[in-house]
Chain A
């Protein structure tokens, strides 16, 4: 289990990195290496070029101004998770990130790496899907912004073009009074989720649900929004009945087939329970302006 041969570049600027990216036939990015290196060690990947971004300081930033938390792709997961300004603006980020692997992996793993890797069971892609986040991709030709809903295309597949790099990940802040929760189940601590669900819940003046957002990971080839359940919750009194019904509606989102981690039947059951749970907890946190 040793990495194969490849060409290696460690540019010191983003511009330099983009140039290499454009010039390379088949390049991968060495960000935190926590997904890439296992893949290389198993020789499941055999890239021509590895672009190591560790020296590109301009990508390791967190900016919490305006309504968005803008995170440079090379920001370590642990750094984002532990940032107090981020916590104040969107506590769901920390709650969700605590489920990613173990701290020792998050110490090295980057936010951009997790998103670009696009494992359908990953938490950050799920969170971006839930919050309607935005991704910024860049190539030598320029930058473009991609909504999360269009970014994740398939297992390990995103809307990034081969010559593009992911440079920034933007998480919207929560609305005042918006409730939030994330929960997942993995059979072993820190493993990728068998299934996970996140929710945000905004109530109107009458205490009814003005907006519910729900997303799930681990159940399909990409993270998914649970639109049917969201629709059903709009205008409804929050409560166990509504939440259980939402959980039932979530079942159909499961499209993965039986695998070694779980049967599809069980995943449906699990997801419906998780949805019920996150809605219940989000409702408890929802309320007046924060």
Chain B
């Protein structure tokens, strides 16, 4: 195969089924005799259940069982804290079904299993639940104050975790500074809102003692581990399959959710397949949220804008429980200095319990908040020192010759100090300036201002630690009948196109078309070593594992073909599904033949097999059919473990105009320069970036979960929580830089979250620029609704 597939815009293998309605999402699986579940959920935020009666629900025709915590036996335990950390002084996780206490609206209290979902919902409504309602405080800043109502009675000030990190000598830096700037910023709560909500189906096979669970998860192997442990089953008796999954974006990495326990439990108990599909109204109060952080950040700088030190103290709202540990806060804290050299950092955070849906990573995972804090502060510093916003960033960039650049004692989510591997930050900024045509924009802005229009430019530079370990693996097997390659990894995809990207990597090594590489993932039945899909790690960690496996498969194929062709393995070339001796095209064999011949067979079940039986003339040899140390067939498994995170980066800018009547923001241009190292498939990368920016737009303008003072979510529907349509997302101009990561064979860095991270700051910075002639106060919070913009304008006492 002459054209390299790596780096090409290869169309996706997964599309064929998805565009014809043949996708297989959990709710699409035809499970014979399946029963349907529905949960009864808490209607109050913090309360004590005084009365729980399921009699009427159980009596409803069509209802098979109603479970409360008392029915769960061994499973009635609090769920694991998935990522422990010594700084979590008061870890709390929830029960599958609430005991007496409820901690947030939506917490699962009972589970109904019925003939269909309609009846299950009817029954759930018949469950009588009375509560003693306890006082609540949903604002994390107030919840951390003395005297605030406590979410967990024994957790003082609602502080779940507290961490201080010091890198370099911040005190000295602040003492040496000419200028210190301070700002408090806030990013509000949001939710990933994948188009497919959570979903679980399970079947218990009483004959084999096997439990099969189909689940819309990002972490089938992790869930398999949790379920075998909870249900006390051998790992090989539990198979977790994540079939097609309709978007993940983070919350589907968390496990086990109540449904992931109750559905298999009921299937086992009732000896019938059981299914539960979260509906949209449940999704808002059940699937985990992210984002609320309040940062108080200070920068110490010289008068020419070189930042010497940074102090950041922030509150992180972790909701009512902390199942995923401090991941979000930790990632925020380690990315707080962005692309800047800043040699001295003091960062402290408190994770605060509030009586709300628990908080775990959502695309960006703390980085949007950290980016908002550092970049808002950089804008403010620039303004105070009278330095251009582009220039002040340039003065602080880590330069290419400084890599690898370590921030001592700032420990990233992989347990290692932050070490940025590579980058050309200056080039990225220059590329942005060129694409924008800054001079023209400034002229346009001047003109607009003269006409009384509010036109502004904003930018944000971000870095993103991606590709976390510990490891991933890949198995490649060449099929003897078709000659197609089968690839398995321990990951799962929710739209990222693994079936294509992995195929490209394999195709390059073994000389087949990408469509002849069949990737099957997300099934612990086919491959069960690995971690999960999160933290923009799939391409980096699995991609490299697939590459290493493909190299190894290539070597085995070449060796086998060399044996068959009586040639030197070094002279074997693989292309077009064949192996042949270099320089000839006639002396060759197909990969199907190679696969067939490398497996000495006893049975001639078809024509190809005939040639491989131990009695066939070609196979006859004096030695053993399978020499010592050899394996049958072409099958390899390899693993890749990254030394530490790879650091992708980029810079986005937007030109916006604020409408004086509607206070709406028109994004006239949106430009994105990004560098995720080498790209496997630019088409897929662009899709990831565009999707990320769209979610960023949601976070910048529209998407804010609003709890009222009683802890009830006021906008728990798509009518009121505004996920953008095409009309609310701008066209994105995209510029790719490719600086290979030195850390892995393919030179790639992750890109899954990149698009989302900088958008809040880009918009805030642009709006601030647009409004600045009016003397508005600085923008310190996203999302920026029209009401918020109106408020800024009003504060400027502009008569609008």
Contacts and interface: CB of A to CB of B under 8 A. Distances in A.
Nearest to B708: A260
B786 A1 contact: no
Nearest to B280: A1
A82 interface: no
Interface string B276-296: 000111000000000000000
A238 B183 CA distance: 48
A277 B715 CA distance: 30
B184 to A, nearest CB: 21
B412 interface: no
Given A262-B786, A265-B791, A266-B787, A190 B661 contact: no
Most B Cβ at <10 Å: residue of A3, A191, A260, A274: A260
A266 B663 contact: yes
A261 B791 contact: no
B403 interface: no
B122 A5 contact: yes
A213 to B, nearest CB: 21
A269 interface: yes
A270 B663 contact: yes
B714 interface: yes
Nearest to B281: A1
Contacts of A189: 725, 727-728
B198 to A, nearest CB: 14
Interface in A1-32: 1-5
B343 interface: no
B621 interface: no
B122 A187 contact: no
B716 to A, nearest CB: 10
B661 A266 contact: no
Contacts of B206: none
A263 B785 CA distance: 10
Given A189-B727, A190-B725, A260-B706, A43 B785 contact: no
A262 B661 contact: no
A65 interface: no
A238 B664 CA distance: 28
Contact of B125 (A42, A43, A187, A262): A43
B465 to A, nearest CB: 33
B603 interface: no
A266 B791 contact: yes
A75 B101 CA distance: 52
Contacts of A43: 121, 125
B797 interface: no
A263 B790 contact: yes
Nearest to B790: A266
Nearest to A270: B662
Interface string B658-693: 001111100000000000000000000000000000
A175 to B, nearest CB: 28
A208 to B, nearest CB: 26
Contacts of B664: 185, 187
Contacts of B724: 188
A62 interface: no
Contact of B728 (A42, A188, A260, A273): A188
Interface in B470-506: none
A191 B719 contact: yes
Nearest to B714: A260
A273 B790 CA distance: 12
Interface in B639-664: 660-664
A93 interface: no
B715 A187 contact: no
A192 B722 CA distance: 12
Interface in A242-285: 260-263, 265-266, 269-270, 273-274, 276-277
Residue with the greatest number of chain B CB neighbours at <10 A, chosen from A191, A262, A269: A269
Contacts of B279: 1
B207 interface: no
B790 A277 contact: no
Contact of A194 (B117, B280, B702, B786): B786
A191 B722 contact: yes
A18 B652 CA distance: 61
Contacts of A277: 661
B722 A188 contact: yes
Binding site secondary structure of chain A: loop
B330 to A, nearest CB: 31
Interface in A198-256: none
B118 interface: yes
Nearest to B36: A2
A80 B280 CA distance: 32
B720 interface: yes
B786 A270 contact: yes
A273 B706 contact: no
B73 to A, nearest CB: 30
A263 B787 contact: yes
B443 interface: no
Contacts of B785: 187, 262
Contacts of A192: 719
A191 B125 CA distance: 30
A42 B728 CA distance: 26
A42 B720 CA distance: 14
B702 A273 contact: no
A270 B661 contact: yes
A30 to B, nearest CB: 17
B271 interface: no
A187 B714 CA distance: 17
Contacts of B118: 2-3
A47 B64 CA distance: 26
B662 A188 contact: no
B450 interface: no
Contacts of A185: 661-662, 664, 786
A142 to B, nearest CB: 38
B195 to A, nearest CB: 15
Nearest to A38: B719
Contacts of A274: 661
Contacts of A191: 719, 722
B790 A265 contact: yes
Contacts of B727: 188-189
A188 B724 CA distance: 7
Contacts of B715: 260
A189 B727 CA distance: 6
B794 interface: yes
A260 B281 CA distance: 17
B524 to A, nearest CB: 31
A233 to B, nearest CB: 19
Interface string B721-753: 010110110000000000000000000000000
Given A42-B281, A189-B725, A263 B791 contact: yes
A191 B727 CA distance: 12
A48 to B, nearest CB: 15
Nearest to B278: A1
Given A1-B280, A4-B122, A269 B722 contact: no
Contacts of B121: 1-2, 43
B426 to A, nearest CB: 38
A269 B125 contact: no
A273 B280 contact: no
B19 interface: no
B800 to A, nearest CB: 7
Nearest to A273: B661
B786 A266 contact: yes
Nearest to A247: B661
Given A191-B719, A262-B786, A269 B728 contact: no
19 contacts: A2-B117, A4-B125, A185-B786, A188-B722, A191-B719, A194-B786, A260-B706, A260-B720, A262-B786, A263-B787, A265-B787, A265-B790, A265-B791, A266-B790, A269-B790, A270-B661, A270-B786, A270-B790, A276-B661
List the 3 shortest-distance A-B pairs measured between CB atoms, nearest first: A273-B661, A189-B727, A266-B790
Given A188-B728, A265-B794, 10 more contacts: A1-B280, A189-B725, A190-B725, A261-B720, A265-B787, A265-B791, A266-B787, A269-B800, A270-B662, A273-B660
